[in-house]
Amino acid sequence: MTAQPVPAGRNAGAATVLTTHIIDALGQDITDGVLAEGARLTIEGLQQRFGVSRTVVRDCMRVLESMHLIVPKRRLGLVVQAPASWNVYDARVIRWRLNGPGRAGQFRSLTHLRRAVEPVAAALAAEHASSDQRLRLLDLGRDLRRLGENGDLEEFLAVDIEFHTLILESSGNEMFLALQGVIAEVLSGRTHQGLMPHHPKEHALRTHEQVAEAISSGHPTAAETGMASLLAEVRSAIE
Amino acid sequence: MTAQPVPAGRNAGAATVLTTHIIDALGQDITDGVLAEGARLTIEGLQQRFGVSRTVVRDCMRVLESMHLIVPKRRLGLVVQAPASWNVYDARVIRWRLNGPGRAGQFRSLTHLRRAVEPVAAALAAEHASSDQRLRLLDLGRDLRRLGENGDLEEFLAVDIEFHTLILESSGNEMFLALQGVIAEVLSGRTHQGLMPHHPKEHALRTHEQVAEAISSGHPTAAETGMASLLAEVRSAIE
DNA sequence: CTCGCCCAAAGGTGTTACCTTTGCTGTGCA
DNA sequence: TGCACAGCAAAGGTAACACCTTTGGGCGAG
């Protein structure tokens, strides 16, 4: 991307579109590796490049700094950090990586994360879910079967996302729930890139139902192993 | 806490201690619930409270905003957000929660996260670890037994942290490795709060060795189940 | 009496100019 | 040769200001 010196857009009324644009542009460049570890930026330079004032640049730098993408150093400027120090759970970092050359790697990492988290979430859900949640889960399991057999991929995706989200929510663990967004992202990515069979496999449909059943009837171990076997299929697809 | 209007400390030379202090104070207040969802702050008010200029306050607000602890609203000020939107993987948020009344809950969440991630990390490590890493892991397993039998808790802790860190690192998944810090935190928290037996149990020592053995000899499944059983003990201790 | 328009106040956003602090670099003097 | 100090570059911090949006109240028309 590397925006050319924009003709000083001024504040055209757009609320905070200025900073968003700059943060996105630089974040994308860094996560793409266009700006590699050790690369140096200066506030002055960025002012030029984006045609904004120093304050705006500093605001943006604070955000990037808080994701550990850059570190300000006196006399050196803003030094780009190694990927190892990035805040890789920040939604924006994940989005940037999914947009760039790191896409495949990010997908793989997220899939492993799903494989780790979702079975445990299912087990916890079996212990902590409310009765509303349990009922809803059974409903969703049935809906999935219906939609899966009809071959309606988009609808199936929407319900699948709700299914997995509800389990994370029912786990009662806020750190699991916080992954909802990226898991939804992974699921959509999978169907929209044709990594899904045209009809979800019978095994997957049955397992969804079994997981819903295990959670709603309060069997943590069955829920955990069911979810694990659901994810095992996914895993074999990406490796 | 709630710092009284400091007598305008001015820039006493300290590098970026200004913003850090403000961010910490507010972040702690929000995560503690002292500032609850919907509470409103104003830049003006914060300027008064901390005796700093507007720019500094705004810098801080950007950081807090990027963690989704607050959202700026025209005419309303800075509105404190519900815990559900917080960036709960941000190291600072975790630290604040561990410092405040949310401590127990944060510990529980992190322990579940460990239970989810570490077995999968161990399995991946069995596939991807370098030969150096495999050897080192065997060493650490042996060291743990020696230190455990001697009852040297501090030394044991240090090596235990290195053991778990090395596995996360060997998994090759940067999202797993990113959890290294908080996992170390949980481990130290456990020993320093007397949640550990004076001598680590024989079973734990043996399991550490088995995990090291499984990873180093490239047996993902054994590594995964071994790590899971290691964490099962921990789990029973907190529930 | 009610509805709608207009204006003022409040407050966040963005700009500019200026000063301070820090650390590197190079040059001159001992 | 080596050390010290001057100079400079770049981030950190402050202050004053102009602008836009939101909101709410007042005032006039119907």
State how far the Cα of A211 lies from the Cα of A119, in Å rounded to an integer.
Answer: 10
Mean pLDDT of A88-110: 94
Report the distance separating Cα B198 and Cα A138, nearest Å: 46
Last residue of a domain, one of B56, B85, B114: B85
Residue A130 lies in a domain: yes
Mean pLDDT of B152-180: 96
Between B216 and A18, the more confident residue is B216
Amino acid in position A54: R
Residues A120 and A174 in one domain: yes
- Report for A69-83, B1-15, B213-227: range of highest mean pLDDT: B213-227
What is the average pLDDT score of chain A?
88
B134 and B162 together in one domain: yes
User: In chain D, which nucleotides are within 7 Å of a protein Cβ?
Assistant: 9-17, 19-23
Looking at the structure, tell me whether residues A196 and A109 fall in a common domain: yes
**Final residue belonging to a domain, choices B58, B85, B112:** B85
Whether residue A188 sits in one domain with residue A127: yes
Taking CB atoms and an 8 Å cutoff, what residues of chain A touch B110?
Answer: 175
For residues B11 and A211, what is the distance between their CA atoms, to the nearest angstrom? 59
**Residue A2 reports pLDDT greater than 50:** no
B116 has pLDDT over 50? yes
Residues 6+ away with beta carbon under 8 Å from B77: B40, B41, B42, B43, B45
Q: A226: pLDDT confidence band, cut at 50, 70 and 90?
A: very high
Tokens of B183: 């996992």
- The answer as to whether B46 is a domain residue is yes
User: Is A90 inside any structural domain?
Assistant: no
B61, B157: one domain: no
Does residue A5 surpass a pLDDT of 70? no
Q: A75: Cβ under 7 Å from strand C?
A: yes
SS3 A199: coil
Asked whether residue A167 falls in the same domain as residue A108, the answer is yes
How many domains would you assign to chain B? 2
Confidence band (pLDDT; 50, 70, 90) for A1? very low
The reported pLDDT for the residue numbered B190 is 86
User: Nearest CA to CA, how far is A77 from chain B (Å)?
Assistant: 14
**Which residue is closest to A124 within chain B, CA to CA?**
B112
- Domain shared by B35 and B129, yes or no: no
Q: Which residues contact B214 (CB under 8 A, 6 or more apart)?
A: B122, B126, B220, B222, B223, B226
| pLDDT, averaged across chain B | 88
The confidence score (pLDDT) of residue B95 equals 95
Q: What are phi and psi of A75, to 5 degrees?
A: 75, -15
Distance, in Å, from the CA atom of B59 to the CA atom of A114, rounded to the nearest integer, reads 35
Q: Is residue B239 pLDDT above 70, yes or no? A: no
Pair A114, A79 in one domain: no
Does A229 fall in a domain?
Answer: yes
Given a contact cutoff of 8 angstroms between Cβ atoms, the answer to whether A205 and A145 are in contact is yes
Whether residue B58 is contained in a domain is answered as yes
Shared domain check, B197 and B149? yes
Angle between helices B91-99 and B17-32 (to 10 degrees): 60
Flag whether B9 is in a domain: no
Span B82-108, average pLDDT: 94
B73 at A interface, C-beta within 8 A: no
Is residue B198, in this structure, part of any structural domain at all? yes
pLDDT level of residue A117 (50, 70, 90 thresholds): very high
| CA-based max dimension of chain A | 64
Q: Is residue B30 scored above 90 in pLDDT? A: yes
Using an 8 Å CB-CB cutoff, list chain B residues near A121.
116
What local confidence, expressed as pLDDT, does residue B9 receive? 32
Structure tokens that stand for A17 in this block: 């579109």
Q: State the pLDDT confidence band at A9, using cuts at 50, 70 and 90.
A: very low
CA distance B227 to B122: 7
Q: Where is the domain boundary, B85, B111, B138?
A: B85
Q: How far apart are CA B215 and CA B133, in angstroms?
A: 9
- How much of chain B is in helix, strand and coil states, percent to nearest 5? 70, 5, 25
Pick A13 or B118 by higher pLDDT. B118
Question: Residue A138 — pLDDT band, cuts 50, 70, 90?
Answer: very high
- What is the predicted pLDDT for the residue at B164? 98
For residue A70, give Cα distances in angstroms to A17, A58, A66, B58. 21, 12, 8, 19
Q: Do residue B119 and residue A124 have CB atoms under 8 angstroms apart? A: no
- Report the pLDDT value the prediction gives residue A67, as an integer from 0 to 100: 92
Instruction: Considering all nucleic acid strands, name the nucleotide whose C1' atom is nearest to the C-alpha of residue B20.
Output: D12
CATH number of the domain encompassing residue A140: 1.20.120.530
B113, exposed or middle or buried, with CB in 10 Å at 0-12, 13-18, 19+? buried
Residue A35: the pLDDT is 92
Residues 12-41 of B with CB under 8 A from A: 15-16, 19
* CATH number assigned to the domain comprising residue B68: 1.10.10.10
In terms of domains, do B224 and B122 share one?
yes
B152: containing domain: 102-238
Q: Which residues touch strand D (CB under 7 A)?
A: A 11, 13, 15, 41-44, 54-55, 58, 61, 72-78; B 10-11, 14-19, 52-56, 59, 74-76
pLDDT over 60 (residue B10): no
Are B106 and B191 in the same domain? yes
Instruction: Quick: pLDDT tens for B182-215.
Output: 999 999 988 887 666 666 678 899 999 999 999 9
Q: How many residues does chain A have?
A: 239
B123-147 pLDDT, tens per residue? 999 999 999 999 999 999 999 999 9
Which of A95, A30, A26 lies closest to A61 in space, CA to CA? A26
Residues A149 and A76 in one domain: no
CA distance B185 to B192: 10
CB contact at 8 A, A3 and A49: yes
Between CA B187 and CA B227 the distance in angstroms is 15
A117/chain B closest Cα distance in angstroms = 5
**Burial environment of residue A12 by CB neighbours within 10 A (0 to 12, 13 to 18, 19 or more):** exposed
The pLDDT value given to residue B94 = 96
More confident residue, A8 or A196: A196
Residue B12 within a domain = no
Q: Is B41 in contact with B70 (CB distance < 8 Å)?
A: yes
Asked whether B142 and B209 are in contact (CB, 8 A), the reply is: yes
- State the average pLDDT over residues A31-58: 90
Q: Are A121 and A173 in contact (CB under 8 A)?
A: yes
* Number of inter-chain CB pairs under 8 A, A vs B: 107
